[in-house]
Structure 1
Amino acid sequence: MDERKRDSIVAYLRRRMDEFGIELDDVAAAIAQDQIQQKSARYRSATGETWSGDGERPQWLKQAISAGQSVEHFAVDGAAQSTLAAGPKVDWRQDPFAGSRLATVSSSTQDGR
């Protein structure tokens, strides 16, 4: 961004802050609060919505789970690692059949080969 454009935006923001009585301390407090909320988030959606893991699951997470996504997919910084089962780790990104009926073949069928 060039310097003139930046200065223009800063001047506009200062005028609007004066118009609504917003002080720099108010802005700093709001930023600090946002940072605290971001740090306490255990799960985050692609659109930036967060959930701490406490209370009822938010609607965006319920919809993602009902669509077949795992809760761990939305974990922030490995926050949900403690909730993972001790089962085998599978990297489905490399499986061309992930999500299809071919990926749901039971182990008893595979043993009979």
Structure 2
Amino acid sequence: MDERKRDSMVAYLRRRMAEFGIEPDDVAASIAADQERLQAARYRDAAGHTWDGKGAPPQWVVQVTSAGQSLEHFAISKTTEAKSASSGAVNWRNDPFAGTRLATKPQEFAAGA
């Protein structure tokens, strides 16, 4: 995104925030609350819905358990996530060959084809 588009988007967002009385601190507090909620989550489905295991189960939990799926299938393992995030996972966004034949057909080039 070029700088002019970015400035235009920022101006638009500031105008809309002023229109609805939203302060930057409100946005920051909302983001922090979302992060806390995600960190407290004990269960997550494929669509990204989460539940901390407290209170009444949300609709997605009721549906999957009614269908016979184990709730433990959706358990989030904090240690596994921490390991996979710190295990040197490849960041494909910085791959200079992404989208080229070098990325999709390595066996051809390795064999000298």
| TM-score normalised over the length of structure 2 | 0.59
How many equivalent residue pairs? 79
Alignment of 1:42-53 (within 5 A): 42-53=42-53
- CA positional deviation for 1:78: 4.9
Mapped to 1, the partners of 2:8 and 2:75 lie a distance apart of 39
Mapped to 2, the partners of 1:49 and 1:33 lie a distance apart of 16
Higher alpha-carbon Rg: 1
Structure 1 counterpart of 2:13:
13
> Which amino acid counterpart does residue 72 of structure 1 have in structure 2?
E
Structure 1 counterpart of 2:96:
none
Structure 2 counterpart of 1:62:
62
After superposition, what is the alpha-carbon deviation per residue over 1:21-65, rounded to whole angstroms, capped at 9, x for unaligned? 111111111111111111111011222222111223222112112
Gaps of 5+ in 1: 80-113
Mapped to 1, the partners of 2:50 and 2:37 lie a distance apart of 8
Determine what percentage of the aligned residue pairs are the same residue.
Answer: 67
1:2–1:76 CA distance, 2 compared to 1 (3 A): farther
| TM-score normalised over the length of structure 1 | 0.59
SS in 2 for 1:9: helix
Structure 1 counterpart of 2:97:
none
After superposition, what is the alpha-carbon deviation per residue over 1:48-95, rounded to whole angstroms, capped at 9, x for unaligned? 22211122322211211222322122112258xxxxxxxxxxxxxxxx
Mapped to 2, the partners of 1:5 and 1:76 lie a distance apart of 39
Mapped to 2, the partners of 1:13 and 1:77 lie a distance apart of 37
Mapped to 1, the partners of 2:77 and 2:3 lie a distance apart of 36
